Structure 1
Amino acid sequence: MARKQTGPEISRYGFLVLFSMATISCCMVYLCFSAVFRPPISSTEFLDSRVSDDLKREDRNGDCCRGIEHLELWGGAVKWGSEFKVNSSKDCCLACKGMCSDDSGPCLCDSWVFCGDKLACGDQFGECWLKKQKDTLEPDQRDSGGHVMWTSGVVFGRGEGIVGFETQYGTFHVKLLPDCAPHSISYVLELLASRHCVGCHFYRAESRGKSWDPEGNHIEQAPYGPPFALIQGTLGAYGTVF
């Protein structure tokens, strides 16, 4: 035979129900306000995040890990090559990237130097020097030319290597990828040092489509293309040879 609930028991259960409903309501209000007042991501943060995510897929096989032959970069060593040897320049580059945080901040290693010429390197063959530059946009270069036996490369961490091109139509930002196109980025860094790009031309190659707003920001939930290349042009600056 079921026991009839007394008044105090009913009141206690009612209180628990009301308390649960109030807790759920507070959580829903918090989530709504968080979504509404969340600060918008900047264009450079979006660019950096998007490029970093894309590169992670390529870096699994080291497909985007290149350097410049016959170039020796200087800088403070974070790992001495005399105590660290690898089989290829790609392995050296990946070792440097391995010292980068996935989520935030600069890399502990932002440049690497590898000795891959067995005849010229001698006992130094396979040495991989991992280094930290004072300014990654102006890496310290010790020597270059056919007589140099080293291969060097630069790595930009999250939030680094984003430059702005100021034009009469506004400023657009570009994430530099020295590990993918080292020679091109070396040329761009040379242009940055000169502070001008006289003779360079930029033009809009495609319409914005439905993926980008009038300010050039990506529309939430929209696909990333086409168009894929909103801006095209040339960096053929007068007086600067590439």
Structure 2
Amino acid sequence: MMEEDLILIVEDEREIAELVQDYLEAEGYRSILAFDGLEGLDHFIEHRPTVAVLDVMLPKMDGIELCRRIRGESNIPIIIMSAKKSETDKIIGLWIGADDYVTKPFSPGELVARIKAQLRRFKHLSVQKEEEHTIKFPGLEINLKEYTVVRAEGRQVELSAKEFKLLAFLAANRGQVFSKEQLLENVWGYQHIGDTNTITVYVRKLREKIEPNPSEPRFIKTVWGIGYKFDGGIQ
């Protein structure tokens, strides 16, 4: 559990909502209550909760529509609560993006356990997703989503769009040797040979920005007679 976790509970039966809130607070979670669908949507927009727990039968906007609205804006875990035992309602809830479905009457302890499970899963997937966007080497970290490059000392490196694209392409294909013509094709996007001196210039610029010693590069290595490869910085 993290301090920033905030659970949105949208339930028109105040007694149930407050009981769930009490159980969550006993576990150290912050929570916010809404008693109709529109209020729930307003709370979601304003507070950006970590998990949403929604009753199906709500005034002003039902839980299914609220679930659809939230899912259109966010991938947070959504748990649907319903007094209905119809399999159709459960299927609809899961089909529009809910992650779990609880039938009333339920144990508040069980609901809290389900919320915890959804939080663990969501955070694990979030970490995996972030790792997929990040290429890490000793002394260099490349974030493909944020287009940032950070050196070992924590200093962010300022790169042009083409410099970043060239670095990211080489790093994503660590150890593979590319000719200048192949780099032009893959980074600049055209298939004719063009001016291969462009690659020479950009490699020199990159080395000046990312290498501890540009004259003895650790990352972007020259393979004489062929082209360049990204070595990973391990000496």
Same fold (TM > 0.5): no
Q: TM-score, normalised by structure 2?
A: 0.22
Report which of the two has the higher share of helix. Answer: 2
Of structures 1 and 2, the one scoring higher in RCO (CA 8 A, sep 6+) is 1
The structure with more radius of gyration: 1
